[in-house]
Structures are given as C-alpha cells and as structure tokens.
Amino acid sequence: MAETQSSNYDVLRNEKYGRYLVANKDLDSGELIFTDMPFAVGPKPGNPPLCLGCYAPIDNSLCSRCGWPICSPECETAASHLNECEVFSAANVRFQSVEDWTASSPQLDCITPLRVLLAKEKDPEKWQQGLELMETHTEARQQKPSWAVDQVNIADFLVDHCKLGNKFDKELVQRVCGILEINSVEIPSRGGFSIRAVYPRLAIAAHSCVPNIVHTILYNDYQVQVRAAVPIKSGETLHLCYTHALSPTPIRREYLLESKFFNCECARCADPTELGTHLSTLKCNKCDNGVILSTNPLDNDAPWKCTEKNCEFKTSGAAVRKMLAVVQAEADQLDVLEPNAQAIEQREAFINKYKSVFHPRHSLLLSIKQALGQLYGRVEGYNIDELPDLMLERKAEFCRLVLKTLDVIMPGESRMRGMVLYELHAPIMFMARNEFSAGVITQEKLKDRLQEPIKCLADAARILMREDPQSPEGITGQIAYQSMEQLKASLDSL
C-alpha cells in the first residue's frame, strides 16, 4: 500500500531503499513528474566565505546588524538571512575575520543546519511529514572524524555560543547534520558557487548508477523540477544518480559508502565492464590483447586480473584505487587551467601519457575527451572556423564517444547529453561545408549532410531550454534554438 500518492508517483517503503518513489502511470521522456521547494538552502562544507543572501564570493563585507558575510543592503534584508541574523545579533556572535577570503570557511558550516532548525520551528508539520522521516545513519556517522568536528563547529556553537539551548538540544542538531549529509543535494547558486539544499520529495528518490529521472534547479527560488529522462512504465522505481555518472565503479562505490552509507549493488556496479562501457577497465602491459578487470566489482578488495587466458597478470583492488587517486589528482589540475591553447595541448598530452594504462573509454580518459570536445573550436588558435578537418573530426569523435557512453549509463534527456549534442553540431556542419566548398560533395548532398547538425541542435535546444535561462546550460539551449533556426533558413535559401 502506498504511503502517499500524487498524480504521477506513489511513495512506497521496503527494506532495501526505505521510502522510495514509484511511477503510478506511464511517463514520457522529458515529462515533468513533480516540482519541490527546498526545506532549507545554504552553504555546503568547504565553501569559502559567501554572501548569505545570494551566495556570491565575498571579501570582508559583513551584515551591519549581525556581522556575518553579506554583500549588499538587498541581501542584508533577504528572507533567507533575517532569521539567522536575529539569532546571531541576540547572542552577539559575529563572524571572525579571516586572512584568506578564498579559502574554505568552517564558520559557515553552521548556517544550513541553523536554517533547517529555524524552518522546523516555523513549520513543524512540514518537518514531521518530510525531514523527520529521513535517514541519518547516526551510529555510522559517530565513527567518522567529521562527527567530532560537527559537534564543536555546529552543535556546541549553536546551542552554547548562540544560546539556542532553550529551543534545540545538541542531539537534534547532530540529527539535522545527518539529514543534510545524507539527503541534501549540491545545487548551483545565483552567485556562481555550488551550495546545498534539502528537498522533502526529491530526497525520497532511490539511487541507481543508471538513473531514469533528472532534475533541474531554478535559480530564483531554488525550486527543483524532476523529469523522466527516458520513458518510464507504471510501477517502475524512479531512480536518481547520487554520484557523478562518469566516475568509475571503485570511485562511485567509495563515494556512496563514505557519504551516503550504503554499498551500491546496481547492475552497472556489479558488471566488471560497467555494462560494456569499460569506464573502469585498464589495459594490460604484460600482454598485447588483454584488459584488466575486477574479479568482483562489489568487493573492494577483490583482485583485478587480465582477461587473456595465457596472461598471469593480477593486482589488488587497493593498488588500483591508489593509482586512480594519483591520476585523478593529475586530471584535476587540468580542470583549473584557463581555457586556452595550452589547456588543449596539456589534455592531449595527458591522453597520450595514459593511453597504454587505461582503456580508451575509461572514465579518466573519457572525461578529458569530453573537455576537449568542448575546448576545440572555442579557444584562440583553435577557433571553429580555423580548425582543419582532422581536428574537426577529433572534436566530433570525442563528442560521439561521450554520447555512446551516456546511451548506456545515463540514457535519455540529461543536461550532459544536451551540452554534448550542442558541441557535436559544429564539427559536422563545418566538415560538410568544407567538402562542399572543395567540390567534393554536391549541393543536394550538402543539404542531406546538414540534417544531422539540425537534429543535434533541435535535441540540444529541447533538453537545455528546460534549464534555468540564466544557467550556462539554459543559455546554451537558447543559442542552440537560434542556431537551428538560422541553419534551417540557410538550407531553405540554397
């Protein structure tokens, strides 16, 4: 029997998931299933000092009343800040000035839990129906170093220093910390930084490393819109992916165990080849044809072995995870580079360096190839109208490789697919035009070849125009739509 029902889903409960969502009717790809408003929004652990109104980066600009980070008079009177402002002002607890305003600020760790507590006080019914039912994994969290840190920085700080002991006890504060750690989602903010929010209904969606739903955050009020990524049959569980979809199995499972306290055993995690995508597969250097796979991906300590019959090579799961961490750290350094010619060349060097270590579709190489698919055609020295056909083909190849992988691990209409489709249209279009200009293809053949970039743009526009219009994806969606209309018009004039 369903706990609660809506027009598109039921809330059920079982041993595996606890509460979870099930479609109660057939849903089309892209169909809106539900919207949800956050119970609370605020900074996430590791954020630098941000304005507590708009979450823009801040440099020594403080609220005139409470002395906590605020960037403007408008943000000082923002509804999200007023309640905590009263708490800090009454207790005379001010933000301690910092030397580096770009570094992580543990002082802000108390803000989101405080906002949850104040929202609980304001709307106890919404708390009881939503957040009170959420999993906190208190016993497991007590074994982690972060428990003691939260006790000092959040529980002791709010109850003792901010004099809230007459309203909330420390056990409740730690419970709220657990609710946020397990159930909140990272969201983009108007200020450009990732923050976190906890949504009563979104938090119920079960996890799978091959999700069938996607969510969009609107910047103005942080409403979440949840849609079907693929056609979903009545009775099917609605699955969200709690991790980065392109991560390899050892990294995804480690993240889920560390942050969500469960071992994922979905079909993708259980398959050494990750459903044929080879996102975790290594190359064997001891023989020519073999690849190295985990003998049991659901056991972190299981050995990894070469698939060739006559090859004896094997290594430990620990050794693989250590190697992944080292190479991931190197890949992360590439992410902070300015988008320029050097950023392209260093990524190509990375691929060359590790092509004998990883399967060409391994997560680490695929993520670099995805970045190159965006950079080619967009930076000085590699502008799209200057790229030779060889580089246009390389851009298209990388985009198609990512799309082929998404077909398996994130099927349907996701932001990532929309952005890759937009990048793919350009090299196909320019290669076709170059061939026509060189007299290699006829005008009729050109018209035929330009149908694919038109479809790429149409699909990209449909997916991305659901995003917030101020977001990078939303802006790209509008550009994709305009580009599609222009390309259609130029075709009609041929």
**What is the strand order of the sheet 185-188 is part of?**
40-42, 194-198, 185-188
Decide: helix, strand or coil at residue 12. strand
Predicted local distance difference test score (pLDDT) of residue 192: 76
Predicted local distance difference test score (pLDDT) of residue 484: 97
Q: Is the pTM of this model over 0.85?
A: yes
- Residue 418: beta bridge partners? none
DSSP letters, 154-177, are IIIIIIIIT--TTT--HHHHHHHH
Whether residue 182 sits in one domain with residue 102: yes
The total of other beta-carbon atoms located within 10 Å of residue 73's CB is 10
Question: Are the CB atoms for 295 and 305 separated by under 8 Å?
Answer: yes
Whether residue 59 sits in one domain with residue 189: yes
Pairing of strands 4-5, 194-198: unpaired
Residue 98 lies in a domain: yes
Whether residue 229 sits in one domain with residue 131: no
Q: Of 189, 216, 240, which marks where a domain is finished?
A: 240
Measured between alpha carbons, how far is 274 from 310 in angstroms, rounded to an integer?
A: 24
Q: What residues contact residue 112 under an 8 Å CB cut-off, 6+ apart?
A: 40, 41, 42, 43, 44, 180, 184, 196
Long-range contacts of 297-300 (CB under 8 A, 24+ apart): 297/249, 297/250, 297/253, 297/269, 297/270, 297/271, 297/272, 298/253, 298/263, 298/265, 298/269, 298/270, 300/250, 300/253, 300/254
Question: Are the CB atoms for 23 and 212 separated by under 8 Å?
Answer: no
Q: What are phi and psi of 13, to 5 degrees?
A: -140, 140
Task: Output the domain CATH number for residue 27.
Answer: 2.170.270.10
Question: Are the CB atoms for 313 and 292 separated by under 8 Å?
Answer: yes
* Short-list 442, 347, 451, CA closest to 398: 347
Residue 314 lies in a domain: no
Find the helix or strand (DSSP H, E) in which 74 lies. helix 73-76
Long-range contacts of 354-358 (CB under 8 A, 24+ apart): 354/327, 356/283, 356/285, 357/282, 357/283, 357/285, 357/327, 358/281, 358/282, 358/283
Whether residue 155 sits in one domain with residue 184: yes
Decide: helix, strand or coil at residue 305. strand
Whether residue 221 sits in one domain with residue 98: no
Predicted local distance difference test score (pLDDT) of residue 492: 87
Measured between alpha carbons, how far is 256 from 233 in angstroms, rounded to an integer?
A: 27
pLDDT tens for the 494 residues of the chain, in order: 455 557 899 999 998 888 999 999 999 999 999 999 999 999 999 899 999 999 999 888 999 999 999 999 999 999 999 999 999 999 999 999 888 888 999 999 999 999 999 999 999 999 999 999 999 999 999 999 999 999 999 999 999 999 999 999 999 999 999 999 999 999 988 777 899 999 999 999 999 999 999 999 998 899 999 999 999 999 999 999 999 999 999 999 999 999 999 999 999 999 999 999 999 999 998 887 899 999 999 998 999 999 998 899 999 999 999 999 999 999 999 999 999 999 999 999 999 999 999 999 999 999 999 999 999 999 999 999 999 999 999 999 999 999 999 999 999 999 999 999 999 999 999 999 999 999 999 999 999 999 999 999 999 999 999 999 999 999 999 999 999 999 999 998 87
Label residue 207 exposed, middle or buried (CB < 10 Å: 0-12, 13-18, 19+). middle
Measured between alpha carbons, how far is 9 from 25 in angstroms, rounded to an integer?
A: 7
Q: Of 217, 240, 263, which marks where a domain is finished?
A: 240
- Residue 188: beta bridge partners? 194
Whether residue 167 sits in one domain with residue 211: no
Q: Of 208, 240, 272, which marks where a domain is finished?
A: 240
Condensed to tens digits (0 to 9), the pLDDT of residues 198-228 reads 999 999 999 999 999 999 999 889 999 999 9
Whether residue 98 sits in one domain with residue 213: no
Whether residue 189 sits in one domain with residue 44: yes
Residue 488 lies in a domain: yes
Question: Are the CB atoms for 341 and 382 separated by under 8 Å?
Answer: yes
Pairing of strands 239-240, 206-207: parallel
Residue 161 lies in a domain: yes
Residue 170 lies in a domain: yes
Pairing of strands 40-42, 32-36: unpaired
Whether residue 218 sits in one domain with residue 192: no
- Report how many domains make up the chain: 3
Whether residue 183 sits in one domain with residue 47: yes
Q: Angle CA(189)–CA(195)–CA(200) in degrees, nearest 5?
A: 100
Measured between alpha carbons, how far is 138 from 150 in angstroms, rounded to an integer?
A: 12
Predicted local distance difference test score (pLDDT) of residue 486: 96
Question: Are the CB atoms for 92 and 162 separated by under 8 Å?
Answer: no
Whether residue 227 sits in one domain with residue 98: no
421, two tokens = 């489709």
Residue 58 lies in a domain: yes
Decide: helix, strand or coil at residue 30. coil
Whether residue 487 sits in one domain with residue 380: yes
Question: Are the CB atoms for 30 and 212 separated by under 8 Å?
Answer: no
Measured between alpha carbons, how far is 57 from 193 in angstroms, rounded to an integer?
A: 8
Q: Residue 205 carries which DSSP code?
A: S
- Tell me which residue range forms the domain holding 457: 376-494
Residue 347 lies in a domain: no
Residue 302 lies in a domain: no
Q: What share of the chain is helix, strand, coil (3-state, %, to 5)?
A: 45, 15, 40
